[in-house]
Amino acid sequence: MQDFGDILNNQVLLVALLACGIAQLLKFLVELTKNRKFDIRVLVTTGGMPSSHSALAAALATGVGQTLGWASPEFAIATIFAVIVMYDAAGVRQAAGKQARILNQIIDELFAGKEFNEERLKELLGHTPFQVIVGLVLGVAIAWLASPAY
């Protein structure tokens, strides 16, 4: 049980999770403002503005750099991890979302007026580069604002 308490005392982890949570909350507020409808599902879905994955990874890397040093191997690992997460969010998952959109359109056209029981593919999987950059800036800013806690 002591190990669990140690996890809860890990400030770097807590700040990274806080950055992710704030990004998800901002995503909800952006969607509420943009679409004028209350959709609580936005809090737990992927895609949208800003990228919570990017905010989490950036806050994690920044926190590691602040606590262990900018030249530490741990900071290098966290930074490479953050770059991979952000590349995936803007690249691979964005492309998968575009493919899902096209496949859904093909299904709609092929089965127009006919019964089709398969679930539609999720189209909002990834992020635009701008959404990733906003998540990155948000994560770094939250880590810097929380830095006296380290």
Whether 34 maps to a domain, the answer reads yes
Q: In 10 A of CB 35, how many CB atoms?
A: 10
- Give the single-character DSSP code of 104: H
In the chain, the amino acid numbered 7 is I
Instruction: Tell me whether residue 111 is in a domain.
Output: no
Examine residue 135 and state whether it is found in any structural domain, yes or no.
yes
Kindly state whether residue 40 falls inside one of the protein's structural domains: yes
CA dist 47 and 52 (Å) reads 8
pLDDT (0 to 100) of residue 80? 98
Dist. CA 104–CA 122, nearest whole Å: 9
* Furthest-apart CA atoms within the chain: distance in Å: 62
The terminus-to-terminus CA distance of the chain in angstroms comes to: 23
CB 139 within 8 A of CB 55: yes
Residue holding tokens 């093909």?
106
Q: In tens digits, what is the pLDDT along the chain, a chain of 150 residues?
A: 567 778 888 999 999 999 999 999 998 888 888 878 777 777 777 777 899 999 999 999 999 999 999 999 999 999 999 999 998 888 766 666 677 777 777 777 776 766 666 666 555 556 788 999 999 999 999 999 998 655
If one counts the domains in the chain, the total is 1
> 143 lies in which domain range?
2-91+126-149
pLDDT of residue 97: 67
The SS3 call for residue 24 is: helix
What pLDDT sits at residue 150?
52
Is residue 74 included in any domain, yes or no?
yes
Report if residue 110 sits inside a domain.
no
Is the pTM of the predicted complex or chain greater than 0.85? Answer: no
Residue 63 covered by a domain: yes
Domain contains 138 = yes
